[in-house]
Amino acid sequence: HSNKEEASMFICDLIINRINAFKPNQNKKFVLCLPTGSTPLLVYKELAERCKQGKISFEHVITINLDEYAGLEPDHEQSYYHFMEESFFSKALSELTAPFELVDIPLNQFHLLPGSPIPPLNESHEDSCSTYESLITSLGGINLSFCGIGENGHIAFNEPGSSFNFRTRLVKLDEETRKVNARFFYDKSHVPTHALTMGIGTIMAAQEIIVLAIDSKKSEAVRNALEGGINHLCPASVLQLHETVIFVTDEEASQDLK
Ligand code: F6R
């Protein structure tokens, strides 16, 4: 697409079409996996707008986020829980009284990995990760996984070198990722050193995957993911092995493709 607005509209339309085409029943709701960061912001804004216009409802959708910083409480302003609350869920959280209305997802139908232990269970990070995997299984798997891509080719927080078989787990963030994400924090020293992330194996088990890449900063990662060899040094290159993947880019992010 020629710009990020068009690329984001394409993703938004695709998500709406897939949800509207799905027939939920007692045993299976549509399970949508979601990213955070700068990339999905326009998509979330547009989904909220279409929801307001009655073109889409999240009543029968279950969302499950890709990752969360380890050590951040849900109300920390840089936690991904807080990000989702601000950009997507707040209508559910505020029980319809928010000044700005977002999507109509019921309160118990969105899930994020807990960055810090939640009372009364106080699970360890390892236990939270295996609970998350069991949750995905009990939901009948992921129908559509919407992902961003890191400048270093990561998907979710699966940094270069991650095994393609890994499931949800606690990871150490690459220094490059902490540097890139320092723009959201006071400075790099405040960026958590670890995160909880869905594994590549978990993401690859989704029925369909869509990746949005915007800006020239992503062009090298996009080229390595699509035209490089399948290599765990560019985790997103594993997507070449999935049967149903769509990469959506603006012109700048695809400028290095042949
Ligand atoms: C975030 C996530 C990450 C980001 C990636 C790009 O939930 O899974 O993989 O998608 O780091 O981040 P932005 O969009 O900020 O460039």
143: which 2 tokens? 């129908």
Task: Work out the percent of the chain whose per-residue pLDDT is above 70.
Answer: 96
- In the chain, the domains with their CATH numbers are 4-169+196-249 (3.40.50.1360)
Choose the residue to mutate in 34, 149, 238 for probing ligand 1, maximizing ligand atoms within 8 Å of C-beta: 149
Nearest atom in ligand 1 to the alpha carbon of residue 218 is: 16
pLDDT confidence tier of residue 97, bands split at 50, 70 and 90:
very low
ipTM comes to 0.99
How many angstroms separate the alpha carbon of residue 245 from the centre of ligand 1?
17
Q: Which residue is closest in CA terms to ligand 1's atom 5?
A: 150
**Which residue in this structure is represented by tokens 């960061």?**
37
pLDDT digits (tens, 9 = 90+) for 26-43: 899 999 999 999 999 999
Task: Say if residues 160 and 154 touch (Cβ distance below 8 Å).
Answer: yes
**CA dist list (Å): 241 to 63, 127, 129, 238:** 24, 29, 25, 6
pTM flag (> 0.90): yes
Angle in degrees, CA 32, 30, 5, rounded to 5: 45
pLDDT of residue 3: 98
Task: Say if residues 196 and 129 touch (Cβ distance below 8 Å).
Answer: yes
pLDDT digits (tens, 9 = 90+) for 136-178: 999 999 999 999 999 999 999 999 999 999 999 999 999 999 9
Q: Which residue is closest in CA terms to ligand 1's atom 15?
A: 37
Asked if residue 92 has pLDDT above 80, the reply is no
As a whole number of angstroms, the distance between CA 33 and CA 146 comes to 6
Nearest atom in ligand 1 to the alpha carbon of residue 37 is: 15
Asked if residue 197 has pLDDT above 80, the reply is yes
